[in-house]
Homo-oligomer: A and B are copies of this chain.
C-alpha cells in the first residue's frame, strides 16, 4: 500500500468512492443542510452545532473540489456568498434519506445537550414520508417544535418539505420531541393530543393522516 496519503481506501468500488468524498466528519450533515436549500457560511455553522470554522472551511473546499458543492456569489445588491449543491450533489438525496431513516430507528429520547435544527427536521419529514400512505391525499402541514418551524406539502404521493412557516397550512401542529413516539407508532394521534405531546389547529382529522404518512 504505497501511498495511503490522501485518505483513500485503495479499492475500486463505488461505496469506497462515496465514503472518500463524504466520510470525513461533518460531511454528510453539511450535505443534509444544503439539500434543504443554498446557505451562507454562517447559516451552515448555526445548523451544525460546534463545528469549528476551519473544519467547515476545509469540508466546503473538499466538497467543492469533488463536484458536490458550488460556491456562488449572489448578484448585486446582495453580493453575499452562498454554498449550494451541484446537480451531482443533489443526487445524494436518496442516499441521505435512506441513511437518515435507518438512523431514526434508534433515535430514542433526545440526549441532554442535543438540539433540534430546522433543516434536520425538514429532512426527517422527507425520510419518514411514505408515498403509499397518501395516494390521492392533498394536505399542507406546518409543524412547530419549540421555535423550530417547518412545513410539508403532501400531494398525492409526493412531498415538498422545507423550513419556515406555511401561511395556507391545512393543519398546524405544535409539539415537542415526544412527536417521535407518534411517528414511531408507540402512541396514537388521539393519545398524542390527550397526553399533551401535541396541540393542533386546523382540520383535526388531518392529524391522523399525518401519523400515517410520516412513519419511522
CA distance A101 to B91 in the complex (A): 10
A102 touches which of B11, B13, B14 (Cβ 8 Å):
B14
A103:B177 contact, CB within 8 angstroms: no
Cβ of A98 under 8 Å from chain B:
yes
CA distance A19 to B95 in the complex (A): 13
CA distance A96 to B127 in the complex (A): 15
User: What residues of chain B lie closer than 8 Å to A49, measured between beta carbons?
Assistant: 1, 9-11
B1:A15 contact, CB within 8 angstroms: no
User: What residues of chain B lie closer than 8 Å to A9, measured between beta carbons?
Assistant: 26, 29, 48-50
List A residues at the B interface (Cβ < 8 Å): 1-4, 8-19, 21, 23, 25-26, 28-29, 32, 48-50, 67, 88, 91-92, 94-96, 98-107, 110-111, 113-117, 120-121, 123-124, 127, 177
